[in-house]
A and B are shown apart, each in its own frame.
Chain A
Amino acid sequence: MDFTLWDIVRNLITGLQWTLALSLVAFAGGAAVGLLVMVMRISDHGLPRNLARTWIDLFQGTPLLMQLFLVFFGGALLGHDISPWAAAAIALTLFTSAYLAEIWRGCVEAIPRGQWEASATLALNRYEQLRHVVLPQALRIAIAPTVGFSVQVVKGTAVTSIIGFTELTKTGGMIANATFEPFLVYGLVALGYFLLCYPLSLSARYLERRLHAAA
């Protein structure tokens, strides 16, 4: 059976779409969980702060691959068969949340103390201070590093091929086995990641420059 170049590319594009979908889900989920973890991390109270720190240490201190295995096989062990897609989405969400929480904490802590004090003096509570005064300012400086980190999420999806999720890398592996042209196929796989990541890197750089110029 012969594969034309178009056959290869066509299949890889299907895989690329799954990579993209997984990246988006992981990023959205990671952002939601990460925001919560960040707010806990900067809390006045010890309990939420320590929980958040443990969360961050746990997911930053272990390989993404192990997190993926633990979710995938751990689910099965508990009697819930988890699909590769769900396991991949959950593991990447956890991973992303830990990093985004730390990135955003840095941005929140870059806001001068005076902003907290002035808003406290106006009788705003902690949630209102964050919502109306601190986060809008932190958001500005968070955009560039956040977009920059999204590149790591996209590349991180590649490890999910191991548990059989047919994203770009897994698709590439299957085609390479069938065509005996691993160099061509993996070259195209790499090109696919590059096409996703390079615009993100460029825009992160652009945003950083623009926001610095404005500040």
Chain B
Amino acid sequence: MPLLRVSALHKYYGDHHILKGIDLTVEQGQVVAIIGRSGSGKSTLLRTLNGLESINDGVIEVDGQYLDAARADLRTLRQTVGMVFQQFNLFPHLSVGENVMLAPQVVKKASRQQALKLAQQVLEKVGLAEKFDAFPDRLSGGQQQRVAIARALAMSPKVLLCDEITSALDPELVNEVLAVVRQLAADGMTLVMVTHEMRFAREVGDKLVFMHQGKVHESGDPKVLFAQPQTVELAQFIGMQQ
């Protein structure tokens, strides 16, 4: 049984039909890379998966929880699905450690001691244990994004959504973030990422999803698709990126 299944998903912004019947499955431990032009609906699709965007029709099923246009237990869902954003969105009034400890304490009612230990563990994982007491504005973009990843990991999600997490970074900082993601993938974390890093998608991805005009235009093994795109649109898109 797939960990995440999207069936016949539709989303409108007013009259604008953004997602036109998306079907998608993600297996436990899979790394799924979603690519496509801006406006193809890839970020919107990602944001529906944890209820940041409501949906108009269809079903999203994550680890046995259902979400459709009428009902959604977002509090439970969001403890299963973590997310990292393009703009990091760290809490600027809290230190790095407090950023990570907040949700475990508030949502999962962890004690301060438990949260502290957990925060040290996940910060260790992203290589920033020594920045525990620093404030976000003292960190580089790459470090901030790694803290954001640690903050998401502290809730022990089953799936981690990554929304163009390297797009706001200076080129020399991209690799330190991708290295962390690569390690997560190697550790078996299920990842769904909207990305412009084609090489990363090809090397680390288990599945490539090409979105075009609100639909999944093509999907499959990234190594195969990059070598032999089946549609003109994907061929053009890959050509454009290289």
Nearest neighbor of A114 in chain B, beta-carbon distance: B89
Chain A at the B interface: SS class: helix
A121, B52: Cβ atoms closer than 8 Å: yes
B83, A132: Cβ atoms closer than 8 Å: no
A133, B91: Cβ atoms closer than 8 Å: yes
A123, B103: Cβ atoms closer than 8 Å: yes
Interface size on A, residues (CB 8 A): 18
B78, A122: Cβ atoms closer than 8 Å: yes
How far, in Å, is B152 (CB) from chain A's closest CB? 8
A81 at the A/B interface (Cβ < 8 Å)?
no
**Which residues of B are found within 8 Å of A140, using beta-carbon distances?**
93
Interface size on B, residues (CB 8 A): 23
A121, B82: Cβ atoms closer than 8 Å: yes
Task: Known contacts A117-B85, A137-B93; decide if A122 and B52 are in contact (CB<8 Å).
Answer: no
How far, in Å, is A77 (CB) from chain B's closest CB? 48
**Which residues of B are found within 8 Å of A133, using beta-carbon distances?**
91, 102
How far, in Å, is A26 (CB) from chain B's closest CB? 30
B79 at the A/B interface (Cβ < 8 Å)?
yes
Flag B97-113 by CB within 8 Å of A: 1 or 0 each: 00000110011000000
**Which residues of B are found within 8 Å of A136, using beta-carbon distances?**
93
Flag A124-149 by CB within 8 Å of B: 1 or 0 each: 11001000110011001000000000
B90, B93, B107, B152: the one within 8 Å of A124 (CB): B107
- Bound CA span A105–B169, Å: 32
B106, A121: Cβ atoms closer than 8 Å: no
B107, A128: Cβ atoms closer than 8 Å: yes
B87 at the A/B interface (Cβ < 8 Å)?
yes
B143 at the A/B interface (Cβ < 8 Å)?
no
B71 at the A/B interface (Cβ < 8 Å)?
no
Per the 8 Å Cβ criterion, residues 59-90 of B in contact with A are 74-75, 78-79, 82-83, 85, 87, 89-90
B190 at the A/B interface (Cβ < 8 Å)?
no
**Which residues of A are found within 8 Å of B82, using beta-carbon distances?**
121-122
**Which residues of A are found within 8 Å of B91, using beta-carbon distances?**
115, 118-119, 133, 137
- Bound CA span A120–B161, Å: 14
How far, in Å, is B96 (CB) from chain A's closest CB? 14
B74, B89, B103, B106: the one within 8 Å of A117 (CB): B89
A-B contact pairs, 13 of them (CB 8 A): A117-B52, A118-B90, A121-B83, A121-B152, A122-B78, A122-B107, A122-B155, A123-B155, A124-B106, A124-B107, A125-B75, A133-B102, A140-B93
Listed in ascending order, the chain B residues whose CB lies under 8 Å from chain A are 50, 52, 74-75, 78-79, 82-83, 85, 87, 89-93, 102-103, 106-107, 148, 151-152, 155
